Structure 1
């Protein structure tokens, strides 16, 4: 064998052993990198040439191919980061092969085979002091048609994480001192309104990253389903036949839903916000569990902050994906499809992102092959939706950034079926069934949701030593439910609700270091303001047209929920004090001034109600501590208060007989104030995490709902909630990963002062939830996941006469698979793999009051899609 053939075999053998990495490495010996779902660099799985016999002619032909396949590195870009520096290698002709990493003393050496430097400045690159702790970065040609990159540290070798695209490699470089450090420091912003490592937060936190979201979209694009399967303490997935998340509380109480810090939840409490979120626009989701007032009111159960995607650092990146879905129990009429396109990039000081998606969903069918009817109006059944996210950002210099974000969602339903009301005449609780009506709508819109959010952000990293963030936003929404025939019933008319409103506000926060304590302590302080308008008239339809030809012809609008205006001004301060390397203390205070304005109005039934202005004040505190037992395990404890004003729509639309004036019935309108106590232990290690926590909270005047004549009635009574949550994720080896979550919550309230505490309704308290998953990287290009969901039964509230039905348990299995084919990924999902016939908690609890809501869950459903980036 000549030298050329020997060199070819050596390169091929080395390349076959190395996979595309996303790792941190500081050991003395070269270490194979781990697979990355983002990176596609080799077309074949590993081949061990010592076990393969090749004729000499094949070796010569292979040698010629390899000599021509040299990736030309045309640009090396360095971008400062909070941890160090990001280095991006770009090519114009071919993808870069997998790098090989080794460490010698304080230098990390990266060898990239089959590559050459073709830089504008020549065939070498050097950057002096690109980041603290890093002396230099050098790139030079190496022997054997390759490029060698040397990362020289001051006292120890830097660490690096690698991600890849088709024609670029990105190296996230930090000067971490040793491989004993945790592989990746997970940072959360929502808990304290500024970046903190999860290990430093004295609260229960769940972070859902982009990869997890993309994996879940193999089986569903409904965020209510995704969060229900991934977040402990959050209610199990709700029924797709209804657009609301009414039976999806967070630890038994309401959650504030934010998008990039902008509050989506309205005081009216429609619980339809998650239905209007396209998972394709999400970069990550941060969930703080337990009452908090860090962002204001309405977060007595916690905060769900949805953070939208960021522009890429490349000059241009395009994402395309398309998906098809079908029911395997009844394929006809069940086909759904969606298509999305995304474009993003950076040019100088300007960066941008545009994401557009269209979805067309058909009917859904249960495990018995029966059509599932829409039970709320405007659900995802037989719907067409559009979603747009647009961003434009300007980095004026290293310190200042301005960003404008525009997010629009429009989902409309066009179904020929309603839930058959005649089942209420059949003894026992029946399964909701469809009734074909083929309605025609005149004089109004189809049922569904429309939402617009515009958001302007400005940040300055150093103003007199402080970091400033300012935000102004506007939100507008319209939600239209389905028409119902109430003739002879509570409303004695054919009506539907058309809720709408807007919200505008601003936030200003300043993060100030406190060096007189130490250089690891800071104070976050600022002010929030929001003005919110809500109303919900009833559309009344012509009964003659409806009976004659199923035409919904609008006759008039009548008051259901009058216009009411909510103003909130909040002042806050939050201290983050790292007392020592092992002990941290967080604490804060928020003072809120709340005003409500309601004009005189007449209820749907003709009762006059005198309006007026109400004013509330609330001052709440929080304090928490973290004690680190070692670098991986920490204990945390906290006391926190949260508050909310009740949903005034729930009071004003159907007020009790004694309610004649807004200003005179203060008990119904008084704010909810919650005291929460929590203890927990958290561990993070290379490739895994575990958390166990317990909580107890009380409120002297709570907010619960009971049904009267099919319409909810507000119940104000003392409440107490308590529960336990646990989660574990661990990578067993390079191929296998497993994880589980368990959450259990209970609660009682005391409606009568002289009575006993009674179990709170399952509207608020969901049964025990257990999830488990197992993932396998079957080959370098093929991964598989099985995930399991068990929801337990609950009969406490039924036996106490609070619920009208007991909750029965159920068990569901999903299968998800990703296969890298060509430059993209084939995504396969099977929802309800075992084709279980079951009723979600939402259907069971609401169906106990009205059987037309008792819809079964969808049966086995197959989804296939393809995603490509270039």
Structure 2
């Protein structure tokens, strides 16, 4: 991997810093709530009791990064080793976790639509409502289907415990420093929380209105999944009543919507020709086709009851949830059918989930050994489909019923050894009515052939296991080793819509069983924190797509996959005011059946990040964050052209600046994204050869804001 001149300069600047993974947060955090996570086994546990890689992004880091951008894709791409670089759009397609899809959760409730993955799940909640983010890496079955690469759990804010009312009002404006014209947007946010006797509440609301995004040359990136002239609204509320010290009832509601209502049209470039895609105003007299793209009012409602002493040594957490998702995608000519009068189309992913979960945890002391048992049952109904706005059906309705039982054990032996093991049994069925595949035409002469497919019920049964061991008996050095499995039937809809047989029982719809092996260590020596991990992820079935030249349609291929990689982390506190650090991650994968490298939909280039946080006074805070993405060229062009997601990726780097100043109850902030105005294509833009995806990243963009807290 060759480093750019900027990389060399910043590496010299942060001389104590090497690279990084994350069995603990990127930066050391205070002992207390920030050292606890709940995502790994559904109960609070210390980070040093988790025998696997975890990234914890605390509230201070969230607030600091929000100064530059409120987009969670950007924040996660920088802070989480093993996660692909940000796409710079509203979509996280191609943004994987260790080469596989991650399951996105809000307080443990799934936000992803694994039956038909639309890759809009990372952007489902405003950062203003989040207390911290927990990322568990590697295949896991703790929360069920869809976590082939791990889980990303947004832990939302809780009412303050001091009995007082707390509030926040904020306003900011984000604009291009390259070309200001029509680029200014506005953000409003407000939050209120507190307690009245035994009743606690959190209410958060935000609105983001984007102006025109602009790249380093002042052009507007393409409108496909674009953020230009997009308006996002989020309303989050949480109400909690404590019956006594042991029992509580909590109701949470989240509403998120985003719509790109614009008259922009794309001037489509090509990876193969080396020309970028950019957007211009629609010619006078022409009208927009389709509806504004984006989540059209996604909603979550969760009712949770907790009893901390249901029986002796046993606690209960019981919740029921309901979710509706309505994600509208961009208008595409690839969905045309001239013979029926359709010159294009626009799809919608619809998903309705209803679920209930009972989680028990029991703790025992057995001499010098502490034993925790976590066990329970999950039920989920997920009805998902992908129709078109014009009434055609692309993916038929899939009705999934999933009942699962699980047991997780944790043994803490003589305070030094932590042994965890568990099992989960999933019984799943997916019912699909008879349907006909959609006739789609890339041109008047190249069309797919519609096929009548007999429906039925598909049964998926899987038993998955996990086992891990961590040793804390050596001061400053804590090694771990683990094995975990996940059962994944994600993107079944992609298989159904591309069916080439007349009966769903003949479609290769089997669940993928992912085996994840990992070893690593973490530790602290004086002011230095370090961590590393190496992993191997294997599955007998994966999903990749190849172009069928006869129809012009990309079709899924099921084949064995092997993904391996490593992650490194280092952070050094020079003094009370200065913290420097960084992380490095490398991942590579192959279709082992044909010894073919996996493409850019799964695997991205090596990634290096460095940061420097300087707080010269209690009032002033300054941060520099640098991202370097390396090269990946694994595929040769065919007849002079790359296809699918096999485009070559060349290196680039981006430097961001965040600054804030506190004055009494006021905080003034300045964020600059791409400080040096790097002219680059994102890793996804280079790898994806699909029309309209090769857009450039943002040029220098400024974010000015002020917040008032009380």
TM-score surpassing 0.5? yes
Conserved 8 A contact 1:672-1:702: yes
Pick the aligned partner of 2:92 from 240, 245, 263. 245
Question: Alpha carbon RMSD of aligned pairs, Å?
Answer: 2.1
Give 1:584 deviation, angstroms: 1.3
Q: Where does residue 348 of structure 1 map in the other structure?
A: 197
Q: Is the 8 A contact 1:278 1:387 kept in 2?
A: yes
- The correspondence for 1:533, drawn from 370, 377, 383, is 383
* Superposition deviation, residue 185 in structure 1: 7.2
Query: 1:489, CA displacement in angstroms?
Result: 9.0
SS, match of residue 275 in structure 1:
coil
How many Å separate the matches in 2 of 1:184 and 1:336?
Answer: 35
1:583 aligns with 2:417: yes
Residue pairs, 1:717-796, within 5 angstroms: 717-751=559-593, 756-796=594-634
SS at match of 1:212: helix
- Residue of 610, 624, 635 corresponding to 2:479: 635
Q: Is the 8 A contact 1:481 1:496 kept in 2?
A: yes
User: In structure 1, how many angstroms separate the alpha carbons of the residues matched to 2:214 and 2:370?
Assistant: 56
Q: Secondary structure at the match of 2:517?
A: strand
CA distance in 2, matches of 1:730, 1:775: 11
Matched, 1:292 2:177: no
Q: Deviations over 1:42-99 (max 9, x none)?
A: xxxxxxxxxxxxxxxxxxxxxxxxxxxxxxxxxxxxxxxxxxxxxxxxxxxxxxxxxx
Q: Provide the residue aligned with 2:292 in structure 1.
A: 446
Q: Quick check: 1:762–1:797 contact (8 Å CA) kept in 2?
A: no
Report 1:5-84 matches (<5 A).
none
Distance 1:183 1:299, change over 3 A: closer
Is the aligned partner of 1:370 residue 2:255?
no
Give 1:691-710 correspondences, 5 Å limit: 691-708=531-548
Where do 5+ consecutive residues of structure 1 fail to align? 1-180, 540-555
Equivalent residues of 2:248, 2:306 under 8 A apart? yes
Residue 503, structure 1, aligned to residue 353, structure 2: yes
Q: Does 1:807 align with 2:649?
A: yes
8 Å CA contact 2:368–2:414 kept in 1: the answer is no
Q: Which one of 576, 597, 600 corresponds to residue 431 of structure 2?
A: 597
Q: Distance in 2 between matches of 1:842 and 1:427?
A: 14
SS for the counterpart of 1:702 is: strand
Q: Distance in 1 between matches of 2:293 and 2:527?
A: 46
Q: Does 1:218 align with 2:60?
A: no
**Residues 349 and 385, structure 2, Cα contact 8 Å, conserved in 1:** yes
In the TM superposition, 1:248-259 aligns within 5 A as 248-259=95-106
How far apart are residue 687 of structure 1 and its match? 6.0
Task: Output one character per residue of 1:433-488: Cα deviation in whole Å (capped at 9) or x when no partner.
Answer: 2243266468x742221210001111111111201101110110111112123458
1:24-56 Cα offsets, whole Å, 9 max, x none, are xxxxxxxxxxxxxxxxxxxxxxxxxxxxxxxxx
Aligned to 2:247: 400
What are the ranges of 5 or more consecutive residues in structure 2 without an aligned counterpart? 1-29, 440-449
CA contact (8 A) 1:182 1:685 kept: no
Which one has a bigger Cα radius of gyration? 1
Number of corresponding residues: 657
Which residue is 1:832 aligned to? 674
- Separation in structure 2 between the aligned mates of residue 823 and residue 464 of structure 1, nearest angstrom: 46
Match of 1:331 among 160, 174, 180: 180
User: What residue number does 1:458 align with?
Assistant: 305
Distance 1:823 1:798, change over 3 A: farther
Q: What is the Cα deviation at residue 730 of structure 1? A: 2.5
Cα distance in 1 for residues equivalent to 2:199 and 2:616: 41
CA distance, structure 2, for counterparts of residue 373 and residue 580 of structure 1? 59
Deviations 1:180-201 (A, max 9, x none): x979871111111111111111
Of 451, 461, 466 in structure 2, the residue corresponding to residue 607 of structure 1 is 451
**Alignment partners' CA distance in 1, 2:94 and 2:328:** 19
TM-score (norm 2): 0.89
Q: After alignment, is 644-653 or 479-488 more displaced?
A: 479-488
Contact in 2 for aligned 1:797/1:803 (Cα 8 Å)? no
Q: Is the 8 A contact 1:568 1:592 kept in 2?
A: yes
Please tell me whether the aligned partners of residues 203 and 236 of structure 2 are also in contact (alpha carbons under 8 angstroms): yes
Alpha carbons of structure 1 residues 417 and 184: separation in structure 2 relative to 1, 3 Å: closer
Q: CA deviation at 1:414?
A: 1.1
Distance 1:400 1:484, change over 3 A: same
Separation in 1 of the partners of 2:646 and 2:100?
Answer: 21
Q: Which residue does 2:322 correspond to in 1?
A: 474
For the Cα contact (< 8 Å) 1:609–1:661, is it kept in 2?
Answer: yes
Is residue 369–residue 414 contact of structure 2 (8 Å, CA) maintained in 1? no
Corresponding residue number in structure 1 for 2:53: 204
Match of 1:569 among 403, 415, 436: 403
Contact 1:672 1:703 in 2 (8 A): no
